Chains A and B, each alone.
Chain A
Amino acid sequence: MSDAATERALVQAARAGDAAAWRVLFDSCAESVRRYAVWRAGGDVHLAEDAVQDAWLTAAKTLPRFDPGRGTFAAWLGGLTANAVRARLRTARRGSLHPLEHEPAGREWNWRVAEVLAALPGQYEAVLKQKYVDGLSVVEIAALAGQTEKAVESQLSRARQAFREAYAS
């Protein structure tokens, strides 16, 4: 969905309870939201599933507050997804004080990645997402951001370094 006017119309219809419009919005973002949630959850698919469900419910509840003039629906939903992952991670952390026997050993590793991603500055997280989730090349990221390739490479390098330091600490 690249047409802003179309998206605006779909959002208006969905606000009025139009199931077909909501279906179009849902399908246009479902895959990207799912991928982003899994990435932000550090690969914890179960946590990501819960977070995606939460994000969609929040989107449905707060759709009247979405302002198409301030960004795309996908970007808005991405923010909701990041918050949902963060909230689910906190809940999971509280629950992990008393871990179950069948708790997968790798979850701790997933959550560590997720926490580091959540703690990164916004611009670093964004450029890492473009590279690892959206699969964009440096050239494509630079074109989207209106920056030079060198600037994007530099920002990617700083983001990776920030992640590395945060993960090691």
Chain B
Amino acid sequence: MSDDELDDLLRLPAAPMRARSDAAFAASLRVLRWRVWRRRVVCAMLFVLGGAGLFAAGRLTAPEPERIVETVTVEVPVAVSPSVEVVADTAVKLELKAELSDSPAESAGLYKRAADLFLIERNVAAAVRCYTLFLALATPAERLAQNDDSWLLFELKAARRAANPGDLK
């Protein structure tokens, strides 16, 4: 093959091809825009799905709402039941103070308080002793039955009235 023949083979032939140029542009532009639109749709879907996923994950992993425990202190009236030691100590001290007091009225009051505490302690014998000393020192008005008298004092006052009717005067 001569050089001229080779040149003829390789030389670009003059061929008009403009007719399909616009078609190629239009078709490629459609593809380009379709890809852009599809990418936007996919991004939007991913965004929505991601948001939903995060929401679901948040719902699944969120800790239980903290329970607020409100501590309400309600005072409930209960029978007085102080510890035996405190009661005994206090009752004994009151009885001792009553014995040492020079004032009969003070002594009477102290004996009564000591007797009340001995009764709470269920030390009935000591309570009877202190109530008896209280009644011995008490004024006539104090020897009358009172609303706040314990059952034991009430009974002792009643017994004393029965034995000494003159106390009522």
Contact = CB atoms under 8 A, between A and B. Distances in A.
B20 A53 contact: yes
Interface of A is mostly: helix
A139 interface: no
Interface stretch (B9-17, B92-100, B106-114): B9-17
Enumerate the 6 nearest inter-chain pairs by beta-carbon distance, A residue then B residue, closest first. A17-B36, A60-B31, A60-B28, A56-B28, A43-B13, A60-B32
Nearest to A42: B9
> For chain B, what secondary structure do more than half of its interface residues adopt (helix, strand, loop), or is it mixed?
helix
Interface of A: 14-17, 19, 22-23, 26, 30, 34-35, 38-39, 43, 45, 48-49, 52-53, 56-57, 59-61, 63-64, 113, 128, 131-133, 160, 163-164, 167-168
Given A22-B28, A39-B12, A128-B10, A164 B23 contact: no
B25 A56 contact: yes
Given A17-B36, A60-B31, A160-B3, 13 more contacts: A19-B29, A35-B12, A45-B15, A56-B24, A56-B25, A128-B10, A132-B10, A132-B11, A133-B12, A160-B6, A160-B10, A163-B9, A167-B9
Contacts, number: 86
Interface size of B as a range: 20 to 34
Interface of B: 1, 3, 6-7, 9-13, 15, 17, 20-21, 23-25, 27-29, 31-33, 35-37
Nearest to B19: A49
Nearest to B36: A17
15 contacts: A16-B36, A19-B33, A26-B25, A38-B12, A38-B13, A38-B17, A48-B15, A56-B27, A57-B24, A57-B28, A57-B31, A60-B28, A160-B6, A163-B6, A164-B6
